[in-house]
Amino acid sequence: MTTRSITIQVKLFASLKESLGTSQISLTVPVKSTVEMLLKKIHDTHGRDNPLIDIRQVCVAVNQQIVEFDHVIIQDDEVAIFPQITGG
Amino acid sequence: MHSIRVQEKDFSVHDEWNACRERLGGKAGAVVSFIGLVRERSETGNVSSLYLEHYPGMTEASIEQIVLKAQKRWSLLDVVVIHRVGELPPEDQIVLVIVASAHRADAFAACEFVMDLLKTEAVFWKKETSDEESVWIESTLDDISRSREWQE
């Protein structure tokens, strides 16, 4: 039996965008993955040696709403990861 | 009534003020405005530019939440927020807040409230370039404390 997976486009902002050199990455994760699982995948694939990608320091928005790390991602969600906002 | 814009281009205080007056007709007795500028000096030295990044859609929504909080708290006739993004040199205008009400107390308080919350709750990231380096900056303790005071 194969595990079904979904592909998510993840938007990056500010220092995270700069650090990874791109404003968007594509990740394939199992269905019912949480935000935490997504962050761990980014950490493992893109940021193992990158001190900026600290999953304890980032905020995650799904469909432009800040969510907790146990939030479950579904296909076609707009996911964004960014450092703490600093205001205008 | 409110209007929120996030844009790269500069704004004309004169034009925005005239448009606001036209919308208000004779209802307002007080209009308070605030204009924020890029300072030429900061803690890191001489600033050559300030770069503001935003998340289209989410940033406007975060500003609207702040304006709605102000409208709930005070009796306001109009609120205008224009915030610039992109690379801004010292002396450039960054932000305009205009608040209109029947009486001055509401307009003064709400304008300060909107500005204080913009500094901590609006979805922006700022990078300062000085003589020495370029650094992503955080909200200052003063900004955080001013914003918290409104919540007490």
The DSSP secondary-structure symbol of A34 reads B
Angle between helical axes of B58-73 and B104-121 (0-180°, round to 10) = 150
* CATH superfamily for domain B2-149: Molybdopterin biosynthesis MoaE subunit (3.90.1170.40)
Question: Does some domain include residue A88?
Answer: no
Residue B37 is predicted with a pLDDT of: 97
- Please determine, for residue B146, whether its predicted confidence score (pLDDT) is greater than 90: no
Residues of B in contact with A84 (CB under 8 A): 138
Q: How many domains are contained in chain A?
A: 1
DSSP string, B69-105: HHHHHS--SEEEEEEE-EEE-TT-EEEEEEEEESSHH
* Contact present, A58 and A81 (Cβ < 8 Å): yes
* Contact present, B52 and B89 (Cβ < 8 Å): no
Inter-chain residue contact A13 with B138, CB threshold 8 Å: no
> b/e for A22-57, b at 16 or more Cβ within 10 A?
eeebebebeeebbbeebbebbeeebbeeeeebebee
Which chain B residue has its CA at the smallest distance from A62's CA?
Answer: B58
pLDDT tens digits, one per residue of B95-123 = 999 999 999 999 999 999 999 999 999 99
Q: At A44, which CATH number?
A: 3.10.20.30
Number of CB pairs, chain A paired with chain B, less than 8 A apart: 52
Q: Which of A61, A64, A86 sits opposite B139 (nearest CB)?
A: A86
Q: Which of B99, B69, B84 is nearest to B12 (CA)?
A: B84
Supply the pTM of this predicted model. 0.91
Question: Does some domain include residue A69?
Answer: yes
Task: Give the C-alpha distances (Å, rounded to integers) separating B57 from A66, A84, B60, B74, B132.
Answer: 13, 17, 5, 26, 34
Quickly state the pLDDT bin for B43 (edges 50, 70, 90). confident
- Where does chain A show beta strands of DSSP type E? 5-12, 24-30, 58-62, 65-66, 79-83
**A61–chain B Cβ distance below 8 A for any pair:** yes
Say whether the ipTM exceeds 0.90.
no
In residues, how long is chain B? 152
* Backbone CA torsion sign across B145, B147, B151, B152: positive
Quickly state the pLDDT bin for B7 (edges 50, 70, 90). very high
Both structure tokens of B133: 């380096």
Task: Say which residue, B145 or A52, is predicted with more confidence.
Answer: B145
Task: Give the C-alpha distances (Å, rounded to integers) separating A61 from B93, B101, B117, B118.
Answer: 29, 35, 20, 19
SS3 helix, strand, coil % of chain A, rounded to 5?
20, 35, 45
| Domain of A79, in residue numbers | 5-83
Inter-chain residue contact A86 with B94, CB threshold 8 Å: no
Task: Say which residue, A18 or B5, is predicted with more confidence.
Answer: B5
Range in A34-38, B28-32, B73-77, B131-135 the model is least confident about:
B131-135
Both structure tokens of B138: 């955080």
Q: What is the mean pLDDT of each run of 10 residues along chain A (88 residues)?
A: 83 91 93 92 78 74 95 95 92
| Percentage of residues in chain B having pLDDT higher than 90 | 78
**A14–chain B Cβ distance below 8 A for any pair:** yes
Residues of A in contact with B137 (CB under 8 A): 86
Residue B23 is predicted with a pLDDT of: 93
Range in B18-27, B40-49, B50-59, B123-132 the model is least confident about:
B40-49
Q: Which of A11, A64, A82 sits opposite B125 (nearest CB)?
A: A82
Inter-chain residue contact B58 with A13, CB threshold 8 Å: no
Return all residues near B152 (Cβ < 8 A) that are at least 6 apart. none
Residue A59 is predicted with a pLDDT of: 92
